[in-house]
C-alpha cells in the first residue's frame, strides 16, 4: 500500500511540474504576442488541472485546484479577447470592420473619466488658451535680449 501511495505522490509532483511549466510557457507566449500558441498551452494547462481534479480526494485540495482552473481560464479568456482585438487590425480599413469598434461606444469618455477620478494635487491642470490675443500680460516674451538694454546703448563699450 505504501508503494502505491508513493507512486501517486511522485506522479502528482511530476504533473504539478508539467502544469507549472505549461503555465509559464503560456504566459510567456502571451507576453511575446504569440496568442495562438499561448492559447494552446492554456488549453493544456486546463486539461492537466482537470486531471488533477479528477484524481483528488481531499476537499480543500480539490477546491484549490478548482480555483486554479478558474484563474487559468480567466487568463485564457483575456488572451482570446486580445486575439479578437488584434483580428480587427488585420482587416483592411472599410472591410468587414463595421461592428469592430462597437464596444468603443461603451467605454467612458475622457470627460467622464476626469470627473470620476479625484484630482491629483501633484498634477497640473492643462494650460488655458491665451484669450488676450498675445498682447501684454501673461505671455512669454519672444526675445530675452529685448528686455535688457545692450551695453552699447548704456554708453559703455563692448568688452573685447
The larger pLDDT score, comparing residue 55 to residue 12, is at: 55
From 38, 107, 103, 48, select the one nearest 76 (Cα to Cα): 38
The C-alpha R_g of the chain, in whole angstroms, comes to: 32
Give the whole-angstrom CA distance, residue 83 versus residue 75.
Answer: 13
pLDDT tens-place string over residues 66-97: 999 999 999 999 999 999 998 888 888 776 54
SS3 22: helix
From 92, 116, 88, 112, select the one nearest 102 (Cα to Cα): 88
% of the chain beyond a pLDDT of 90: 32
pLDDT score at 1: 46
pLDDT tens-place string over residues 27-47: 999 999 999 999 999 999 999
Over residues 127-148, mean pLDDT: 60
pLDDT tens-place string over residues 92-110: 877 654 455 555 555 555 5
Give the whole-angstrom CA distance, residue 99 versus residue 81.
Answer: 15
Question: Binning pLDDT at 50, 70 and 90, where does residue 61 land?
Answer: confident
Instruction: Tell me the pLDDT of the chain averaged across its residues.
Output: 74
Note the pTM of the prediction, 2 decimals: 0.52
Amino acid at each position: 500500500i505504501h508503494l502505491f501511495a508513493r507512486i501517486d505522490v511522485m506522479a502528482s509532483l511530476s504533473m504539478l511540474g508539467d502544469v507549472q511549466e505549461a503555465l509559464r510557457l503560456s504566459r510567456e507566449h502571451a507576453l511575446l504576442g504569440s496568442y495562438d500558441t499561448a492559447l494552446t498551452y492554456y488549453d493544456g494547462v486546463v486539461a492537466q488541472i482537470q486531471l488533477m481534479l479528477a484524481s483528488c480526494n481531499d476537499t480543500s485540495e480539490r477546491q484549490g485546484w478548482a480555483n486554479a482552473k478558474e484563474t487559468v481560464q480567466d487568463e485564457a479568456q483575456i488572451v482570446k479577447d486580445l486575439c479578437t482585438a488584434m483580428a480587427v487590425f488585420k482587416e483592411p480599413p472599410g472591410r468587414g470592420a463595421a461592428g469592430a469598434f462597437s464596444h468603443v461606444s461603451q467605454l467612458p469618455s475622457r470627460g467622464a473619466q476626469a470627473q470620476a477620478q479625484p484630482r491629483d494635487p501633484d498634477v497640473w491642470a492643462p494650460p488655458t488658451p491665451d484669450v488676450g490675443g498675445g498682447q501684454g500680460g501673461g505671455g512669454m516674451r519672444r526675445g530675452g535680449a529685448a528686455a535688457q538694454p545692450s551695453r552699447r546703448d548704456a554708453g559703455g563699450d563692448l568688452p573685447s
